Structures are given as C-alpha cells and as structure tokens.
C-alpha cells in the first residue's frame, strides 16, 4: 500500500478546521426522530387528519400532529427503498449509486459504513457537539440473539462520532422488539469498539423520574422483564436530551441526538405483550388485529416523542419553562422508506394512494413523511420543495459551521431553514430498488430496469404514476437516462465511491497511478473493494500539500473524478496543460492554499466549482457549472474565464501579466450566464465594471 502521509496531514487539517469553526453565533441543537417503514400518508397533513374528519380509521398521533402544526411538512421528501441503504445514505450523504450500503445485503458486514465515510456523528462531534444515537443502526454486529459479536469495528456508531449509544447493530436481530441485550456506550474502559452489551431492561434506562413514563412502566407488574426495545431507546434518548439541554443552557455546547426507532417495522404482534397496549384504539372496533397492533406501535412511539420534546421545553422537569431550549433546537421527523404492503397499512391508507410500497422504486417505496420544526419556518404549512435524506448531513454541517464531506450527493437546505435565500441547486435525485433505478428532476421521474426498459412520469400531473409518457418525450428520456447511468446505479453489488490522495512530488503528472494512493477496503481478512490505477469518476480525491514548500501537480491528460479538493499547509497547485480538461462530477473545491490553473482548457461539474477563502483559480478557459468564489480569481489578459452557469462572486479579483496595458484599456476577465454579487476587492491597478453577464477591468 502506498504511503498516505499526505492523507494523515489532511485529516489533521480537517480536524483543526472543524474545531476552529466560528463559534460567535450559537449553533442549534439537532433532534432527529427517524422511524422504520412508516408510509408517506401515515401523518396528519398527508392524510390522517382528513380520515379523522371523515370518521375513517386513523392513527392517534397527538405529538406528530402538534409537530406538524408547529412545523413545516415536506410533501416531496425522499428516503430510500429499504432499511440498509436508507441509513447509509442518511449518515454519509451519498445516494445508492455511490454509497457502499446500496441495498439490504445478507452479509451485514458488507453493508458497512467505512472508516473513510464521514457521517453525521463524525462531523458534528468534531465540531464540538455532544452526540447520541438510539435505535436501529444496522451495521457491524452479528445477528446472534443470545451472544452477538462485533464483526466490523470500522462501521460501528462509536467509530463514527457517536458518544452516547443504545443500539441494535444487526437488522435481522432488530426483527424483534424483545432482544435480550442491546449495545451501549459509553462502555467500560477497553471495551471492543467502545461498545458493551447490556440487558434490555427498563431498570437500565428509565431514569427520567421528572417525566411520566410512556405509559407508566417502571412499577407495572405486568410489564415484561425484557423491555420492549423502543421503550429502552426512548428512555435513553430522554435522559440524554434532559442532561444535554441543561448543559447547553450552562455552557452553550450544542447536542445532536438521533432516535432511530425500530417502530413500526414488523413484527407487529409483540406489542400485545405490553399492558394496555391498545387503549388508544378501543373506539375503533373494526380494525383487524394486525392493523390494531401496527397502529398501537406508532401511538406508543408518538407518546415517547412527546416526552422527549417536553424535555426541550422544560429540561429539569420543574414546571418552569424559562430554561427551554426548544427555540434553539431543530427538530426533524422522518421515515426511512415507504410503507410495506400489509393489511394494516391499507386499513389506514398509510401510503395515501401512492403506487408501490417499500422495496419498490415507485413513490410508495421512496417518498417518506418528513416534518421539520424550526423558528422562522411557516408553522402548520406544507411545502413541495424537494428534499432527500442525503441532504441532512450537509445541512447539519452548515448549521454547525463546518464544511460537509467532499463530494457528497446531498445539498444543504440550511439557507432555506435560516431564511437566508435559496440553497444551492441540485438537479436530480437518485434511487435504486433491486433491478430498478430512478432519477427525479423537477416534476419528472424516469425509471429504468435491468433490461433498460424506461418509464417516464409527470409527478405533478400523475402522482399515482399511472401514465407512462416516455414515448411522448424522447429527448427528455435520453437526457435523464444518461444522467442516471452516470450516477453509477447500474454497477454490480459492492460498488462504491473510493477515496484517493495525491502522493506525487512537485512536477509529477496526474495521469500516473504511482502518484495516487490505492484504495483497499478490508475487514476481518476479507477484501470487499479495491481500486487502483488511474483516476476515475468514482474517486473522491484529495490533493493536499502537507509539506513546507509549494508544490505543483501537472494534469497532462484529461482528469475526471467524482470530487476533487486542492488545499495545503503550503501552496498546492494543479496546473492543467494547454487544452486539458478537469471534471469533478459532484464538485471541485479549491481550499486554503489550493490553486487551479487553466490554459485554455476547462473545469466542469454537474454542480459547482468552489473557491474558498485563500483558494485560487487562475488563467483562461471554461468553467462548466456554477462558480462560488470567496477566494481569488486571477484572470488573464489573453482571454476571459467563461462560466457556463452562475458566477457567485466574492473574495478578490486580480489579473496576471499586464505589460502591454495602458490607462483606459478594458479587459473582460470573466463572463457567465449570470453574475450574482461583486468581488470584495479588485486589483489596485484597475477599476471594475459589472453587468448581468460579465466583469470588465479598466486600467487606471
């Protein structure tokens, strides 16, 4: 394996940058409720409120009803088709074409979130958040009911920034609500993976005496000795929120808590072992036994949510809400995927007429209920703004004041939540379901199967996906199909993006494999994925100079990767030979001391090219994609930089050689489809003239 000293230096730089994030403004707490298999129509604003008004069977969810009344309902929110990829995409920000866990896999270790994958827990803990995770994780442990083992340490929640944990690690072991043990952290010193097995008993977790149990549990002689696991998760989460809310008031240290309930995944009948389990549904006698059980699971969890939200309002439980942290906390409710096909779902119309169900590529499989509560959002309303589960990691990063991991597929919606304008554009969403894949772009959705049969639906006019209009829009179908395949959805099982780092010396060329680190994903003697050779579109690539002297890498051939970041302790330049093109499909980032030089070629991205403070792009050529600049644009008198997108300007503008210029000469240094903003400073030898599509320098 090639040396990764440069990568070690990079990690140190990233950690330092995270810890040095601007703390002048209070960062929000984040409380994330994540449920398992709850259909899009299973919340009030998506159908249950209307059913109640009509006297039809309806779910009893007073907490979620209030959350919707106080928050914003996202009617076009998407998860994944099944459990494992939903959690992998949620945690890493990569869609199923790029994440390693792109489907439910019988071999649990192969569904790992890898060491290199930076998760919500990683990013928020690095920037000073206290982090907690309770519920179904789904990776890293065996399925043995009595003596489970840790099979993949690099994929555990404790290996990804989560400090307070009560979890089930294997999805098959989570197919009961009465596991005898659960995995817990903090653990005893020296515990493997930072986790230890603890009895699944309420005495272990129900310490929140200031709040009513949900329902009263501790002293009920009919309650089982082994706890209903979601009761245990809920009490652990409640204690965390109480303690960390008080800590936030005292110290300003924010917290992030993710309650990933097993409810309402099957099996359903186990809830009938609990006292008074169906009390909320005794006035709905027409329900089938399965529907009654399924609904009771949701109502029980809803009550737990109520207790946890009450702890935000009154952290110490003394009845005085002057210590409330509710207005400082972003609350999110979401399901992992659509509802599976069963009688209970149908009796409550929990998929609200959407086609398909869990495991399918149609809206019933991937569109999920999502509510967010945050001051400034229009309370009690709904939005059809597209939001995907992959968006939450970059959103949390932006709220926390730290850059999102390089190249993730999600796009932060923090500007929308903060009323600071529109988020950056994201052109499409990607999902997979066994032999099917889909791309959603605006109102249109293209579905492809493994035989390359194509379906196109207009979701605005045909939410039920009943009219395939592919034949009427051949050009749109072709464009969407090309984009879909470019997102690697047709790759075999086990494909994922890989991580690579520049290890070449000053003057070395990017076309040589020897100048890049190899990638090797190995666990317990099994190699799951290797990637060597020349740069590829599946690479997440870092070019970082950890030394003391400036260094230049030369692109002697076209270079195409998923994402590229150039930065360094000392200057690191990537110089494109004349006419050479650089592609970063998801993004190209020029970080501090990172420089990209064009000589008539291009740099392109489907999304953006970003120049951070102290980063630089210089020369002349084409920028295909949106440009965001807070660093330096160093133009050329030879020809302008042509941005085939929107140029969002800030930072400074300079010009290279000006030997032949005289006073009054005008040089257009930047053209774009649209110009937004202005540079903060201009080369002192010039004045600047702006219009809607160009920036021109005038020599003094």
pLDDT digits (tens, 9 = 90+) for 216-253: 565 678 899 999 999 999 999 999 999 999 999 999 99
Phi-psi region of 385 (alpha: psi -120 to 50; beta: other; left: phi over 0): beta
Report DSSP state, residue 408.
Answer: -
- The tokens for 614 are 């102290």
**Element (DSSP H or E) covering residue 244:** helix 229-251
Residues 137 and 167: beta-carbon distance below 8 Å: yes
pLDDT confidence band for 108 (50 / 70 / 90): low
Average pLDDT over residues 28-47: 98
Nearest to 410 by CA among 77, 645, 89: 89
**Separation of alpha carbons 62 and 60, rounded Å:** 6
Q: Which residue has the tokens 């988020």?
A: 423
CA 614, 620, 621, 625 torsion-angle sign: positive
Q: 509 burial class (0-12, 13-18, 19+ CB within 10 angstroms)?
A: middle
**Separation of alpha carbons 468 and 595, rounded Å:** 48
Residues 331 and 31: beta-carbon distance below 8 Å: yes
pLDDT surpasses 60 at 5: no
pLDDT number for residue 103 = 85
Average pLDDT over residues 281-310: 96
Computed over its alpha carbons, how large is the radius of gyration of the chain? 26
Average pLDDT over residues 622-634: 98
Helices 392-400 & 83-92 angle (0-180, nearest 10): 30
pLDDT number for residue 206 = 63
Average pLDDT over residues 167-178: 94
Average pLDDT over residues 147-167: 96
Task: Report the half-sphere exposure of 534 (CA within 13 A, side-chain side).
Answer: 10
CA 675 to chain CA mean position, Å:
29
pLDDT number for residue 110 = 72
Strand partners, 198: 182
List the helix and strand counts (H, then E) for the chain.
Answer: 13, 33
5-429 folds as Alkaline Phosphatase, subunit A (3.40.720)
pLDDT surpasses 90 at 272: yes
pLDDT surpasses 60 at 208: no
Residues 52 and 608: beta-carbon distance below 8 Å: no
**Separation of alpha carbons 670 and 674, rounded Å:** 11
pLDDT tens digits, 589-612:
999 999 999 999 999 999 999 999
**Separation of alpha carbons 111 and 99, rounded Å:** 9
pLDDT number for residue 658 = 64
Average pLDDT over residues 155-184: 96
Q: Which residue has the tokens 């409550």?
A: 348
pLDDT number for residue 187 = 96
CA 157 to chain CA mean position, Å:
16
Residues 169 and 124: beta-carbon distance below 8 Å: no
CA 316 to chain CA mean position, Å:
32
For the ranges 6-20, 609-623, 650-664, the one whose mean pLDDT is highest: 609-623
Average pLDDT over residues 327-356: 95
**Separation of alpha carbons 183 and 163, rounded Å:** 12
Average pLDDT over residues 336-365: 95
**In the sheet where 164-168 sits, what is the strand order?**
196-199, 181-185, 164-168, 130-136, 255-260, 29-35, 329-335, 370-373, 72-74, 381-383
Mean pLDDT, the chain, as a whole number? 92
CA quadruple 450, 451, 453, 454: dihedral, nearest 10: 30
Phi-psi region of 541 (alpha: psi -120 to 50; beta: other; left: phi over 0): beta
**What is the chain's length?**
700
If DSSP codes are grouped into helix, strand and coil, which group holds residue 668? strand
Helices 62-70 & 289-313 angle (0-180, nearest 10): 50
- The tokens for 642 are 């042509």
**Separation of alpha carbons 698 and 684, rounded Å:** 11
pLDDT surpasses 50 at 382: yes
Report DSSP state, residue 543.
Answer: E
Report DSSP state, residue 190.
Answer: T
Q: 24 burial class (0-12, 13-18, 19+ CB within 10 angstroms)?
A: exposed
- The tokens for 398 are 């932006």
pLDDT confidence band for 104 (50 / 70 / 90): confident
DSSP assignment string, 57-95: -----HHHHHHHHHSEEETTEE--SSHHHHHHHHHH---
Q: Which residue has the tokens 């703004």?
A: 385
- The tokens for 535 are 């740069």
Q: Which runs of consecutive H residues, i.e. helices, occur in 256-404?
A: 289-313, 343-347, 363-366, 392-400
Its CATH architecture, for the domain 435-486, is 2-Layer Sandwich (3.30)
């Amino acid at each position: 394996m090639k040396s990764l000293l440069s990568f070690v230096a990079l990690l140190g730089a990233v950690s330092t940058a995270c810890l040095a994030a601007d703390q002048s403004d209070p960062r929000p707490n984040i409380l994330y409720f994540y449920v398992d298999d709850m259909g899009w129509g299973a919340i009030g604003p998506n159908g249950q409120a209307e059913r109640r008004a009509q006297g039809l069977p309806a779910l009893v969810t007073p907490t979620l009803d209030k959350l919707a009344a106080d928050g914003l309902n996202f009617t076009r929110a998407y998860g994944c088709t099944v459990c494992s990829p939903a959690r992998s995409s949620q945690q890493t920000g990569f869609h199923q074409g790029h994440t390693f866990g792109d489907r439910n896999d019988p071999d649990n270790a192969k569904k790992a979130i890898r060491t290199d994958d930076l998760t919500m827990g990683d990013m928020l803990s690095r920037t000073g958040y206290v982090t907690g995770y309770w519920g179904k994780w789904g990776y890293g442990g065996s399925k043995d009911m009595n003596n489970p083992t840790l099979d993949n340490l690099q994929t555990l929640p404790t290996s990804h920034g989560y400090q307070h944990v009560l979890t089930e690690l294997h999805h098959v072991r989570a197919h009961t609500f009465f596991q005898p043990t659960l995995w817990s952290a903090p653990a005893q010193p020296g515990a493997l993976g930072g986790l230890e097995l603890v009895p699944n008993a309420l005495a272990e977790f129900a310490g929140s005496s200031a709040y009513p149990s949900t329902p009263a549990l501790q002293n009920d002689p009919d309650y089982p000795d082994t706890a209903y696991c979601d009761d245990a998760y809920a009490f652990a989460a409640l204690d965390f929120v109480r303690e960390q809310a008080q800590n936030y008031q005292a110290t300003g240290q924010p917290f992030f808590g993710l309650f990933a309930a097993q409810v309402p995944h099957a099996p359903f009948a186990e809830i009938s072992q609990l006292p008074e389990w169906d009390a909320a549904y005794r006035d709905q006698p027409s329900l089938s036994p399965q529907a009654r059980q399924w609904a009771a699971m949701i109502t029980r969890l809803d009550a737990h949510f109520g207790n946890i939200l009450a702890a935000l309002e009154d952290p110490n439980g003394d009845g005085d809400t002057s210590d409330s942290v509710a207005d400082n906390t972003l609350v999110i409710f979401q399901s992992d995927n659509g509802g599976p096909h069963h009688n209970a779902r149908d009796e409550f119309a929990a998929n609200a007429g959407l086609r398909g169900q869990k495991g399918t590529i149609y809206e019933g499989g991937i569109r999920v209920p999502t509510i967010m509560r945050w001051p400034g959002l229009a309370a009690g309303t709904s939005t059809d703004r597209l939001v995907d589960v992959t968006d939450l990691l970059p959103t949390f990063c932006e709220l926390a004041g730290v850059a999102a991991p390089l190249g993730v597929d999600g796009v932060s919606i923090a500007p929308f939540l903060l009323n600071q304008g529109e988020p950056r554009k994201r052109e499409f969403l990607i999902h997979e379901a066994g032999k099917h894949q889909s791309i959603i772009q605006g109102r249109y959705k293209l579905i492809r199967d493994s035989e390359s049969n194509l379906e196109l639906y207009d979701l605005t006019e045909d939410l039920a996906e009943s009219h395939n209009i592919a034949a009427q829009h051949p050009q749109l179908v072709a464009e969407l199909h090309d984009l879909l395949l470019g997102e690697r959805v047709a790759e075999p099982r086990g494909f994922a993006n890989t991580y690579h780092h520049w290890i070449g010396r000053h003057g070395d060329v990017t076309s040589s494999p020897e100048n890049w680190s190899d990638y090797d994903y190995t666990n317990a003697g099994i190699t799951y994925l290797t990637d060597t050779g020349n740069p590829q579109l599946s690479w997440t690539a870092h070019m970082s100079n950890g030394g003391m002297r400036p260094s230049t890498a030369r692109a002697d051939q076209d270079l195409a990767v998923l994402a590229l970041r150039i930065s360094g302790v000392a200057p690191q330049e990537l110089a494109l030979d004349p006419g050479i093109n650089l592609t970063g499909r998801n993004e190209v980032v020029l970080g501090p001391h990172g420089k990209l030089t064009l000589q008539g070629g291009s740099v392109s991205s489907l999304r953006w090219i970003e120049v951070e403070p102290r980063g630089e792009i210089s020369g002349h050529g084409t920028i295909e994609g949106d440009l965001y600049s807070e660093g330096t644009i160093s133009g050329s008198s030879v020809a302008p930089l042509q941005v085939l997108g929107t140029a969002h300007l800030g930072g400074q503008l300079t010009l290279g050689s000006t030997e032949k210029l005289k006073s009054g000469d005008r040089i257009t240094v930047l053209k774009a489809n649209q110009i937004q903003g202005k540079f903060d400073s201009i080369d002192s030898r010039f004045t600047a003239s702006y219009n809607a599509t160009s920036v021109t320098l005038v020599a003094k």
